[in-house]
Structure 1
Amino acid sequence: MSGEGDTTLKSICYKPGSLQLLDQRKLPLETTYLEIRDAADGWSAIQEMVVRGAPAIAIAAALSLAVEVSNFSGFDGSSAEAVTFLENKLDYLVSSRPTAVNLADAALKLKQVIANALASSAAEPNSIFKAYIEAAENMLEDDVASNKAIGTFGSSLLRQQAKNPDKLSVLTHCNTGSLATAGYGTALGVIRALHTQGVLERAYCTETRPFNQGSRLTAFELVHEKIPATLIADSAAAALMKDGRVDGVIVGADRVASNGDTANKIGTYSLALCAKHHGIPFYVAAPLTSVDLSLSSGKEIVIEERTAKELLNTHGGLGERIAAPGISVWNPAFDVTPAELIAGIITEKGVITKNANDAFDISSFAKKVTGN
């Protein structure tokens, strides 16, 4: 599966009964794919950062269970027991990473699919498993189309807002490209679209401490796609903006509350504050599956804390220890950027802008574009 021909990197390689995930911990020096045989393998790959990025996490989880049931030699149980089996596995997979809403949203939709299959007059375990597998495979296909739409809407928005629509430089944080999705990207998809249109002067990417997704992954993708790009230290972003080198900041999202508050990789909030100070528009690019209308604000978003080793050791915790023994560590994986700092939220259905009260009405937007 690829979002852009043979040149786009694939984080997820799937065919019926087989799933391989690119081990992103080893990039950019080594390209290794891990075989995922069941939901337990999927859970470990997500929790251990083999695969990351909210859309990719959801799809990898769904497909890991699809592979498991595809390879059943036989299921000794009733149709109701097949549904219970799938539901329990989905709940287990959701526990791998709690902050990204896409995974929980995917699980909820897949539960509805198998519930509908159970209600069918022809319901039997095999038909329920088949319905689940088809739904999981459709998620893989739909993600690429969704990301390309985000790229189109986002590039148009940035050009409309830029002083020079034919010459833009954009700063991004963490990794939101083909490695974080099924094959195209959200925020990095917008950058890719600008480059394709011939109007991108330069993309700037932060190193994204402490796991270094920017220097290891985003930089790798930008070089791979031959996009003019520069890597900066996280702490250099304010100076870059002060020098007038940035026309816009665009990031992804792991969860967006109904008021527009957005959880994304730690350091995003700092970038938004810097952008506000320097009069630079700050955008979020994410599929509607990243929106959680059940949350009234970002205060309700659960923030995952990562292992202390990511700060204590080199290479995001994978190398030798560098910090003083005995030091305590606070290592949140995400922070929440208040809606007041966000100029627009770019989705596959269009751009969510603020109303006359300078507030996002995401609920009304979602109802309008989905009909629900």
Structure 2
Amino acid sequence: MVDQDAVRPVAAGPPAVPSLRWDEPPEGPVLVLLDQTRLPGEEVELVCTDVPALVQAIRTLAVRGAPLLGIAGAYGLALAAARGFDVEEAAELLAHARPTAVNLGYGVRRAADGYRRALEEGKGRDAAAAVALAEARALHREDIEASARMAEHGLALLGGLLPGGGYRILTHCNTGALVSGGEGTAFAVARAAHRVGELRRLWVDETRPLLQGARLTAYEAARCGMAYTVLADSAAGSLFAAGEVDAVLIGADRIAADGSVANKVGSYPLAVLARHHGVPFVVVAPTTTVDLETADGASIEVEQRAGSEVTEFPVPDGTGVMGAGGGISATSAGSAVPVAPAGAQAYNPAFDVTPPDLVSAIVTEAGVLSPVTGAGLAELCARSRQVTIS
């Protein structure tokens, strides 16, 4: 079940509430989410008391972003265990809520493995639930640490690639604090550049059809005091042609064993443009986003979303809030008007895949990989595991 909690008007500075938090009111444990479908107009918390509510929040993009989905999946499993629900059923529901995001399944498995291990050791269900929650909290802490290290490695990479400073960075979708336990992935690198006075301009793709760039990245950039400009996705080519882009920084939802990168649809065209114009195309993601069991880009399952996200456009309700599903669906507070003829077919993949030869570098918490090769990626992941274990 989902309850709507406090509604806060948006103000300057960091988000007033975290993207995700565990809480234990007298009625029982809950998972509290910042509803990203209500941004940038309002900061609204959703309170999930069970796994179906969390699955719905994931599918409607109230909570989104690869690292945060992993954390949400782990906490969701812990929630099921703590409230006495069927843990195996919960694991299945959560892991398949969004098929392309590998972190989601990773987080679910990690908490579920801890729960099962505790039961096998003869611990009771309450103790096993506590182990699942401990795993979720550990993953949350690790993501915060990974975000900081990615920002450090990414800033150093930019310094080597662009020694003149004053970076003009183009980004796509949203990769900041809204997708992470920390400051994010690609956005965290841009924010690090901003802190040291080296970010001249953050170019923000609007990111059709759900506008995560215009609604969410611009929201975060404004609150951080960055110089930023929102552009239509189709305008990116003119920026490259005018020599206004020094580097492209994006995140990832899954990185295959050969280095192919699945990210928000619209990322692949940016990689092609960047290669043509001699601009570095950099992917920033934790090693938990690397899926060595998926051989190549063709093996990545790409989520297909409802065509109405393309054929309809939102109109505000009485409060000025757009509909749910990233502000595009008419299924919630707002309504939508058709922008295509009735019955029009729509092609709406949530992601596209960029081949490794178009990726200049992959930045992870374990370091930077360039050039991007399957062998190098496997070595980087092995190094990350060694660091985590030690």
| TM-score, scaled relative to structure 1 | 0.90
Alpha-carbon distance in 2 for matches of 1:64, 1:112: 14
Residue 63 (structure 1) shift = 1.7
User: 1:311 maps to what in 2?
Assistant: 310
Cα 1:354/1:366, change in 2 over 3 Å: same
- Counterpart secondary structure, 1:284: strand
* SS at 2:202 equivalent: strand
2:151 and 2:221 map into 1 onto residues whose CA distance is 15
Q: Equivalent residue of 2:226, what SS? A: coil
Q: Does the aligned pair in 2 maintain the 1:258–1:297 contact within 8 Å?
A: yes
What one-letter code is carried by the residue in structure 2 that aligns with 1:7? P
Q: State the alpha-carbon separation in 2 of the partners of residues 154 and 8 from structure 1.
A: 23
Residue 361 of structure 1 aligns to a residue whose secondary structure is: helix
Q: 2:338 aligns with which of 321, 326, 335?
A: 321
Q: CA deviation at 1:183?
A: 3.5
Report the Cα offset of residue 360 of structure 1.
5.7
Aligned mates of 2:262, 2:158 — CA distance in 1: 22
What is the letter of the counterpart of residue 15 of structure 1?
Answer: D
Residues 77 and 132 in structure 2, CA contact (< 8 A), matched pair in contact too: no
Alpha-carbon contact 2:76-2:94 (below 8 Å) kept: no
C-alpha deviation, 1:51, in angstroms: 0.8
Query: How many equivalent residue pairs?
Result: 352
Deviations 1:70-121 (A, max 9, x none): 3x3xx5xxxxxx8xx323311111111000000111122223212321232x
Cα offset, 1:334, TM superposition: 0.3
SS at match of 1:179: helix
Q: What is the CA–CA distance in structure 2 between the aligned matches of 1:100 and 1:192, rounded to whole Å?
A: 24
- Structure 1 stretch displaced more, 32-41 or 59-68: 59-68
Matched-pair contact (CA < 8 Å) for 1:38–1:65: no
Secondary structure (helix, strand or coil) at the match of 1:21 reads: strand
Aligned-residue sequence identity (percent) comes to 36
The CA deviation at 1:8 is: 4.6
| 2:23 counterpart (15, 27, 49) | 15
Give me the whole-angstrom Cα distance separating, in 2, the residues matched to 1:313 and 1:360. Answer: 44
Q: What amino acid does structure 1 have at the position aligned with 2:39?
A: L
Which stretch shows the higher mean deviation, 297-306 or 139-148? Answer: 139-148
Give, in angstroms, the shift of residue 39 of structure 1.
0.9
Shift of 1:140: 1.8
Structure-to-structure mapping, 1:331-346, within 5 angstroms: 331-346=348-363
Secondary structure of the residue aligned to 2:378 is helix
Contact 2:258–2:374 (CA under 8 A) maintained in structure 1: yes
* Number of the residue aligned with 1:78: none
1-structure distance, mates of 2:112, 2:79 = 17
Q: Which has the higher strand share?
A: 2
CA contact (8 A) 2:77 2:108 kept: no
Separation (CA, whole Å) in 1 of partners of 2:78 and 2:110 = 14
Counterpart AA for 2:104: L
**Alignment deviations for residues 207-266 of structure 1 (CA, whole Å, 9 cap, x no partner):** 000000000110011001111111111011111111111110010000000111000000
What is the 5 A alignment of 1:177-188? Answer: 177-188=176-187
Structure 1: give runs of 5+ residues left out of the alignment.
1-5, 76-81
Distance in 2, Cα, partners of 1:137 & 1:366: 22
Q: Aligned residue for 2:136?
A: 136
Q: Mean Cα displacement is larger for which, 220-229 or 105-114?
A: 105-114
After TM superposition, the structure 1 = structure 2 runs for residues 121-132 of structure 1, keeping only pairs within 5 Å, are: 122-132=122-132
Residue 366 of structure 1 corresponds to 381
Report which stretch shifted further, 12-21 or 300-309.
12-21
> Where does residue 5 of structure 2 map in the other structure?
none
Q: Which amino acid aligns with 1:127?
A: A
167-176 or 129-138, larger mean C-alpha shift:
129-138
- Aligned-residue CA RMSD in angstroms? 1.8
